[in-house]
Amino acid sequence: MEILALRRCHTATREQSFAMLPASMRRGLPRTPDGWLRQVDRMALGAHAGAAS
């Protein structure tokens, strides 16, 4: 569920999206919006692949 919420954030600017994340989710993410978006994409792809199998 959290990953889907993160994906919805992609409609906002990257900086706004990063600011919207709760601190608990932000903790493990890279500091730059570009870096965390790449990580979120990997998480979303992994979750999607896991759900498909």
**Which residue segment(s) compose the domain that 29 sits in?**
2-52
CA pseudo-torsion sign 11, 37, 17, 14: negative
Q: How confident is the model at residue 12 (pLDDT cuts 50, 70, 90)?
A: low
Angle at 11 between CA 7 and CA 16, to 5 degrees: 95
Cα 13 from Cα 46, distance rounded (Å): 23
Query: Residue 44 has what DSSP assignment?
Result: H
Q: How confident is the model at residue 38 (pLDDT cuts 50, 70, 90)?
A: confident
Per-residue pLDDT, 49: 61
Roughly what angle, to the nearest 10 degrees, separates helices 33-52 and 2-9?
130
- What's the structural domain count of the chain? 1
